[in-house]
Amino acid sequence: MALFEGLGNYKNFGLLIMRVGLGVMFIYHGYPKLGGGPTEWRELGSATKYVGIHFWPVVWGLLCAATETFGGFLLIIGLAFRPVCFALMINLIVAAAMCFGKGEGLAGASHAIEDAVVFAGLLIVGPGRNSVDKK
């Protein structure tokens, strides 16, 4: 369609939109978890039991909250982009496993799976030219 033919010239701007949008939302969801303290972190970190990890739930919860919060910020600026995408993808795989483990099925896990797929794609594509990591 002629209307969309020239959009390929704006790939880097499209990546910027994705980075900023995802980054803001991950900060929005991660910051309250980070400020929740050890009780919140223990509850959050207990999700690792669904992937076979039964120790240090407070540590895993803190790492999850920090990954979402600081990872969101790093996504926005495009710094350490691929390691952040990998960490967020792992975070989301655990979240999806928790949804399945709780019996929520695909309907409950769909959001985590969708975001994990997006981060897998971004891991491959990279941050684009409008980032601190630009090459």
Which of 17, 27, 26, 15 lies closest to 115, judged by CA? 26
Provide the domain limits for residue 38: 12-125
Please tell me the predicted confidence (pLDDT) of residue 135: 62
Please tell me the predicted confidence (pLDDT) of residue 133: 82
Please tell me the predicted confidence (pLDDT) of residue 124: 97
pLDDT-derived band of residue 3, with 50, 70 and 90 as boundaries? confident
pTM: 0.93
Evaluate whether residue 5 is within a structural domain. no
Picking from 73-82, 83-92, 126-135, which range would have the lowest pLDDT averaged per residue? 126-135
pLDDT-derived band of residue 110, with 50, 70 and 90 as boundaries? very high
Q: Residue 98: is it exposed, middle or buried by C-beta count within 10 angstroms (0-12/13-18/19+)?
A: buried
Evaluate whether residue 134 is within a structural domain. no
Evaluate whether residue 132 is within a structural domain. no
Evaluate whether residue 133 is within a structural domain. no
Evaluate whether residue 20 is within a structural domain. yes
Evaluate whether residue 38 is within a structural domain. yes
Evaluate whether residue 76 is within a structural domain. yes
**What type of residue is 70?**
F
Evaluate whether residue 19 is within a structural domain. yes
**How many structural domains does the chain have?**
1
Q: Tell me what the mean pLDDT of segment 16-28 comes to.
A: 98
